[in-house]
């Protein structure tokens, strides 16, 4: 038996002894334990250290080892009721992003995810980049608060126009960027205009910042400028959040003639536009319009981008692009939050973006996503007659499906889970009451085309399980 297992066995024996003692009682001395349990002094030392780390005992040099005082319990559990009063009413609403059905059981086909299947991730490129980054002599030094200059330069070039490296703030992914932007731009209680339907995690971040999301409808050409102007006028909002490229969940792209109109309406209202551009690298092979920030010269647009969606969930690297005082405000928020993004991950991201393999990955991914989108669209049309499928998107990871009349999307989602397929209920994508029942169905998190087809078949079977809807 090795020393580790011996000390572990002794620790178990001492736990039994502790159960018979009271808080404050003194344990036998190390000499006594050595003699009683027939072990060496080093074994006793390791066992006592393990118990101290657990909080079971307290060692007092020169005095001995004592049973630690246990927290007072009521009904077998700690009494935390006092926290209800102390926390007041600042609850963080996560119902739009938390899965109400819990983790899916093994064998479930995942069509509700927002990340790439492992087989689609550039894992070899990422691993090699992280290994090279870790070998840098300054890999573990503190990074600049705004991000590595070289990485900011790459993000500035991706944004285009006259964006400069000093306009870029590196963040821990797109969600972190949204949280920073919402808190920096608008105060608690302020309205923020959002697309309807829109991205649930953005709605959650806005509400966590104390903001009040106000929906503005979109159509096949994206956000409607006429309704946007009305919403600004009625609410007095000074902030708009939108996804002009491959909008989540619908996949729409803001029409060219609306791009200038949206910015004009925002400028006339003295408002900022948060442009969420995280899907830019998820195009299906066609032309992707340049970011709104590339044509913005007066600081109206706050641009958000991220590498997480086109690469892998744990490449939590994103960026904010902004000009003027709002840029300094966001840097201040960022500095207070966590100082800086971990340097090795920034170095790895720089390695990835600087490699020819990244461009090859993006091109290859576009082809794969286009094929998967077509396979799923055909399967859904076949398996769910009566549903209205939006025009297959030219980018992104999802299809947006309007369900037949009388079908409840949350009920169908539960039935689908029982059939072994996970999809997202459309009600999660609306800031207020949805106009109809929808589903968001993903095609990037599954293993292959066969799984997509089988997932659609299971979804159709789940709809059949519910029986005919009302006439």
pLDDT at 471: 44
pLDDT at 90: 66
Reported as type and span, the H/E element at residue 342 is: none
- The lowest-confidence range among 85-89, 102-106, 235-239 is 85-89
pLDDT at 4: 57
Taking only the tens place, the pLDDT of each residue in 208-241 is 999 999 999 999 999 999 999 999 999 999 999 9
- The lowest-confidence range among 58-62, 138-142, 244-248, 413-417 is 58-62
Q: How many helices (H) and strands (E) does the chain have?
A: 15, 18
pLDDT at 63: 83
Under a CB-based contact definition with an 8 Å cutoff, are residues 391 and 408 in contact? Answer: no
User: What percent of the chain stands above pLDDT 90?
Assistant: 71
Q: Is residue 422 scored above 60 in pLDDT?
A: yes
Reported as type and span, the H/E element at residue 435 is: none
Question: In the structure, what pLDDT confidence band is assigned to residue 72 with cuts at 50, 70 and 90?
Answer: low
What number of other Cβ atoms are within 10 A of residue 131's Cβ? Answer: 11
pLDDT at 86: 73
Mean pLDDT of the chain: 91
Q: What average pLDDT does range 146-167 have in this prediction?
A: 95
- The lowest-confidence range among 98-107, 227-236, 362-371 is 98-107
Question: In the structure, what pLDDT confidence band is assigned to residue 315 with cuts at 50, 70 and 90?
Answer: very high
* Between 34 and 88, the higher pLDDT residue: 34
Q: Is residue 264 scored above 50 in pLDDT?
A: yes
* Three-state secondary structure of 10-48: HHHHHHHHHHCCCCCCECCCHHHHHHHHCCCHHHHHHHH
Give the position of tokens 């550039």: 122
Question: In the structure, what pLDDT confidence band is assigned to residue 467 with cuts at 50, 70 and 90?
Answer: confident
Question: In the structure, what pLDDT confidence band is assigned to residue 103 with cuts at 50, 70 and 90?
Answer: confident
Q: Is residue 469 scored above 60 in pLDDT?
A: no
* Domains, the chain, with CATH or none: 3-67 (1.10.10.10), 109-116+358-465 (3.90.1150.10), 136-354 (3.40.640.10)
Q: What average pLDDT does range 25-51 have in this prediction?
A: 90
pLDDT at 470: 46
pLDDT at 331: 93
pLDDT at 88: 67
Handedness of CA 324, 330, 336, 338 (dihedral sign): negative
Question: In the structure, what pLDDT confidence band is assigned to residue 166 with cuts at 50, 70 and 90?
Answer: very high
Q: How far apart are CA 5 and CA 93, in angstroms?
A: 46
pLDDT at 267: 95
Taking only the tens place, the pLDDT of each residue in 110-150 is 999 889 999 999 999 999 999 999 999 998 999 998 999 99
pLDDT at 408: 94
Q: How far apart are CA 370 and CA 380, in angstroms?
A: 15
Q: What average pLDDT does range 374-401 have in this prediction?
A: 93
pLDDT at 77: 65
* Between 80 and 395, the higher pLDDT residue: 395
User: What percent of the chain stands above pLDDT 70?
Assistant: 93
Reported as type and span, the H/E element at residue 52 is: helix 41-54
Give the position of tokens 């536009």: 273
Q: What average pLDDT does range 310-333 have in this prediction?
A: 95
pLDDT at 297: 86
Under a CB-based contact definition with an 8 Å cutoff, are residues 456 and 384 in contact? Answer: yes
pLDDT at 3: 53
Give the position of tokens 């590595």: 148
Q: Is residue 97 scored above 70 in pLDDT?
A: no
Question: In the structure, what pLDDT confidence band is assigned to residue 101 with cuts at 50, 70 and 90?
Answer: low
């Amino acid at each position: 038996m090795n020393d580790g297992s011996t000390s572990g066995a002794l620790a178990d024996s001492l736990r039994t002894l502790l159960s018979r003692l009271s808080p404050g009682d003194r344990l036998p001395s190390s000499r006594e334990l050595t003699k009683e349990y027939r072990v060496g002094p080093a074994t006793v030392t390791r066992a006592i250290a393990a118990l101290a780390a657990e909080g079971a005992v307290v060692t007092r040099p020169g005095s001995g080892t004592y049973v630690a005082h246990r927290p007072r319990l009521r009904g077998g559990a700690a009494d935390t009721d006092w926290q209800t009063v102390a926390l007041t009413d600042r609850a963080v609403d996560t119902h739009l992003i938390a899965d109400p059905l819990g983790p899916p059981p093994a064998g479930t086909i995942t069509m509700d995810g927002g990340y790439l299947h492992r087989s689609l991730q550039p894992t070899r490129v990422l691993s090699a980049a992280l290994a090279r980054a870790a070998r840098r002599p300054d890999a573990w030094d503190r990074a600049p608060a705004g991000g590595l200059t070289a990485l900011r330069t790459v993000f500035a070039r991706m944004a285009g126009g006259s964006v400069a490296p000093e306009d870029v703030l590196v963040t821990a992914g797109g969600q972190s960027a949204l949280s920073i932007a919402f808190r920096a731009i608008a105060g608690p209680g302020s309205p923020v205009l959002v697309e309807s339907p829109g991205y649930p995690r953005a709605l959650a971040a806005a509400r966590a910042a104390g903001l009040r999301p106000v929906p503005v409808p979109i159509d096949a050409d994206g956000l409607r400028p006429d309704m946007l102007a009305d919403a600004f006028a009625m609410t007095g909002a000074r902030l708009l959040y939108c996804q002009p490229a491959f909008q989540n969940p619908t996949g729409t792209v803001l029409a060219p003639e609306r791009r200038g109109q949206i910015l004009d309406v925002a400028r006339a209202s003295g408002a900022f536009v948060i442009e969420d551009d995280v899907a830019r690298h998820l195009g299906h092979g066609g032309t992707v319009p340049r970011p709104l920030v590339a044509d913005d010269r007066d600081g109206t647009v706050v641009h958000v981008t991220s590498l997480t969606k086109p690469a892998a969930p744990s490449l939590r690297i994103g960026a904010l692009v902004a000009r003027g005082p709002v840029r300094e405000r966001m840097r201040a928020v960022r500095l207070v939050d966590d100082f800086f993004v971990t340097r090795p991950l920034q170095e790895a991201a720089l390695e990835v973006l600087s490699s020819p393999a990244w461009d090859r990955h993006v091109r290859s991914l576009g082809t794969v996503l286009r094929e998967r989108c077509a396979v799923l669209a055909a399967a859904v049309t076949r398996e769910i007659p009566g549903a209205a499928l939006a025009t297959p998107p030219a980018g992104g990871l999802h299809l947006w499906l309007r369900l037949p009349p009388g079908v409840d999307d949350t009920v169908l989602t539960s039935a689908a889970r029982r059939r072994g397929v996970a999809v997202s209920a459309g009600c999660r994508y609306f800031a207020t009451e949805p106009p109809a029942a929808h589903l968001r169905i993903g095609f990037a998190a599954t293993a292959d085309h066969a799984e997509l087809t089988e997932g659609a078949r299971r979804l159709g079977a789940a709809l059949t399980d519910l029986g005919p809807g009302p006439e």
